[in-house]
Amino acid sequence: MKKFCLIMAGVLAVAAIGLTACGAPADPAVHNITCAENDDYRVIDLSAKGQAGSDILFDVVSESVFYEIGEVSYNGTPIEKGSLGYKFTMPDEDVTIEVRLTPVTEYDDPDDYLSWGSTVIDEISVASEKDMGYTALECTQELPLVFDMRKFGEYNNVLDRSEILSSDQNVIPDEALSFDPLLASEIIPGGTNTVRGGSLVVDLKKIAPGTATIYLYLDYNNSGSAALMRTFTVTEYGEIEIDTLDVPFVVKNNTSYDDEENITISFTDSDPVYGSNAPERQSFKLSELTSGEGTFGYAVGHTYSISASRAVLSDDGIHYDPDSMVSFSVSDWVGPGSSVTGFVKIEDGELTLPNVPATPVQITMND
């Protein structure tokens, strides 16, 4: 009997050991979850730890207008985004969340009814060394904006919120950018101070060569909001090349003066591009023309103001005699074109060229 009890005790001991070794399974391991911090995105509701096999749910949002959220992954495995955010099953190891950003370099939504003017190009020049030397001289590049009043309605004169940002402060700092509104009172006699257009203005003395994206946001009361984005390359002075075409013109002198060596006809670009090969102003003495005919360099898509004047040099050969200075008017004129393409025309001294005319632009000067 004693021997039997000893045997039973041994069996129970072995059974107890067996039960201990083969008891309920241990809980799944808990591992760390980390994600690199970045000023351009924000991770929402991400746990610092996760249990193997459990679902991990979180979200990532962009904190910059210059980036969208691209691929999000854990330990190199892409995570799909659902209606509630990003979700993955926690592996039996530590996890590192990786977020890739996709640059946003352009934005121009037709539904915003705001767009870049046709003369805006993707290059901006820094100020020349000469202009940099004149501290009191403003040196800017205007980037015209088009406001679609038929859709958006008239903008109010008070800005509820406006924002102009650059993606690279070393190339185009925010302080180099401003919005210059065009008021109704500037274009309509007796007009109000409501905003009818405007330009984005770049201070060329504050920028440096490189590439940057500019973001413009306008939010007016009594109206909606609009945004634009565009990437610009800032070049050294004199490196911008613009397509120019030779446009023929002929001048008819209906003034009471016939000293052609003292009479000048000038074409001034209304949309000049600073630091480009396209001259802002082109002037010709009537004596330099052949039977009143000549050509000027036309930057495609630009408009030009035409002016005519007379001035006689003083005896010193340097200054002009003030008593000889006379400004002439330029007659309106309509040339070839159509209601669809527009007409080549001169109106109030402004030359509009929807295309290069086959026949010369007719310029008539009057007292």
> What are the tens digits of pLDDT across the range 78-110?
999 999 999 999 999 999 999 999 999 999 988
pLDDT at 14: 45
For residue 154, pLDDT over 70 is answered with no
- Expressed as residue numbers, the domain containing 316 is 244-366
Model confidence, pTM: 0.81
Residue 152: predicted pLDDT: 56
The gap from C-alpha 11 to its chain's centroid, in whole angstroms, comes to 85
| 226, 217 contact by CB (below 8 A) | yes
- The residue from 85, 103, 121 where one domain ends is 103
What is the Cα–Cα distance from 195 to 76, expressed in whole angstroms?
Answer: 51
pLDDT for the residue 337: 83
pLDDT band at 17 (very low <50, low <70, confident <90, very high): very low
Query: Does 217 have pLDDT greater than 50?
Result: yes
Kindly state whether residues 159 and 71 are assigned to the same domain: no
Assess if residue 293 is contained within a domain: yes
- Give domain status of residue 3, yes or no: no
Write down which residue in 39, 69, 103 finishes a domain. 103
Average pLDDT score over the chain? 88
330 and 313 Cβ atoms separated by less than 8 Å: no
CA distances from 12 to 2, 4, 9, 18, 156 (A): 15, 12, 5, 10, 92
Is 200 in contact with 164 (CB distance < 8 Å)? yes
Residues 272, 303: Cα–Cα separation, whole Å: 9
Tell me, yes or no, whether 10 lies in a domain. no
Query: In whole angstroms, what is the distance from residue 200 CA to residue 179 CA?
Result: 5
Residue 359 and residue 264 share a domain: yes
Domain-located, residue 151: yes
Is there a domain that residue 256 lies in? yes
> Which residues are registered as beta bridge partners of 77?
74
| Residue 24, domain member (yes or no) | no
- Cα 256 to the center of its chain, rounded Å: 49
Regarding whether 333 and 349 lie in a shared domain, the answer is yes
pLDDT of residue 28: 86
Which of 212, 235, 258 represents a domain boundary (last residue)? 235
| Radius of gyration, alpha carbons of the chain | 36
Domain count, the chain: 3
What pLDDT does residue 4 have?
43
Residues 258 and 230 reside in one and the same domain: no
First to last CA, the chain: 144
Tens digits of residue pLDDT in 296-350: 999 988 999 999 999 998 888 788 888 889 999 999 999 888 888 889 999 999 9
pLDDT digits (tens, 9 = 90+) for 111-123: 888 899 999 999 9
In a domain, 313, yes or no: yes
* Contact of 298 with 247, CB cutoff 8 Å: yes
pLDDT confidence of residue 159: 57
